[in-house]
Amino acid sequence: MPHQAPLLPIGNTFVELTTVDSTNNYAMGLVQKGFARHGAVFFAYNQTEGKGQRGKSWLSLPGENLILSVVLQPAILMPHHTFSLSAAIAMACYDLFKKYAGQQVKIKWPNDIYWRDRKAGGILIENIMGNDFWHYAIVGIGMNINQTQFSENLIRPISLKQITGHSYHLTELAKELCVLLETHYQNLLTDQGKIFEYYNNNLYKINEPIRLKKKNIVFDTILKGVSIEGKLITNDKMEREFNFGEVEWIL
């Protein structure tokens, strides 16, 4: 394992950007040049080419939402712990949104933030691996905060303002999120089991009927939880596990 300097807390370096193509691209570029280290946070008021899961775009009106990327150096974790990190990040986002939006906030597998049946936020993690060593994780987070009008192409979006009727100070929320990210990241390093217990306890549709599509087959099943490897566990005639991307969730 390469030598690693002591890690600073998440948010110790907090950079505000007026406009950027993608905070993940910006952070990744600095990491590759050696200009960004663990804990650095890059917050943008406007993102012109935001990235979502599986090649999708993340659309956001300028100055209305929480858009940021966090640089992590998870050297103490093994590369097969990628979903554990994703779960810890999701728990931090969940905690922040729940504080203001209330008990109806859940995590939809793998790491979307939902309020009732509507999407409030998402996470995209891009990794730099090498020789069985996890060099960096670039954690992109987007959460709908003050936006009240959305593209018709989006499926049931929701913002914090739509839920509560209040507007929020974005950088204050971002710094509050940094504290939660640091807490859950440290929990991940000491007790992955606790992270997954918390994650599954707050999982969207846990122990409820859901509809999935695999290839051309649509089927109903019961969601039982998510494994530590990040697989969706279901039960109907038998218990089954599915990787992310293997099935499509039909809402």
CATH number at residue 84: 3.30.930.10
In this structure, are 152 and 246 located in the same domain? no
In this structure, are 153 and 217 located in the same domain? no
pTM, to two decimals: 0.93
Question: What's residue 58's pLDDT?
Answer: 58
Q: Into how many domains does the chain fold?
A: 2
95 in a domain, yes or no? yes
In this structure, are 144 and 20 located in the same domain? yes
In this structure, are 57 and 134 located in the same domain? yes
**pLDDT, tens digit, for every residue of 129-143?**
987 889 999 999 999
Looking at residues 5-29, what average pLDDT do you find? 93
Q: Is the pLDDT of residue 56 over 60?
A: no
7 in a domain, yes or no? no
Coil, strand or helix: which one is 212?
A: strand
In this structure, are 154 and 216 located in the same domain? no
Residue 66 belongs to domain spanning: 13-201
Give the number of other CB atoms < 10 A from CB of residue 193. 9
Q: Is the pLDDT of residue 1 over 80?
A: no
Give percent of the chain above pLDDT 70.
94
Identify the residue whose tokens are 């969940």: 94
Residues paired with residue 69 on neighbouring β-strands, in sequence order: 42, 140
In this structure, are 121 and 214 located in the same domain? no
In this structure, are 89 and 176 located in the same domain? yes
96 in a domain, yes or no? yes
Looking at residues 62-90, what average pLDDT do you find? 92
In this structure, are 47 and 134 located in the same domain? yes
For residues 206 and 4, the model is more confident at 206
**Could you tell me the CA-to-CA distances from 162 to 41, 120, 159 in Å, in that order?**
27, 10, 5
In this structure, are 223 and 178 located in the same domain? no
227 in a domain, yes or no? yes
In this structure, are 67 and 113 located in the same domain? yes
In this structure, are 68 and 170 located in the same domain? yes
Sheet with 248-250, side-by-side order of all strands? 239-242, 232-235, 217-226, 209-214, 248-250
In this structure, are 145 and 218 located in the same domain? no
Instruction: Give 157's DSSP letter.
Output: B
Looking at residues 81-106, what average pLDDT do you find? 96
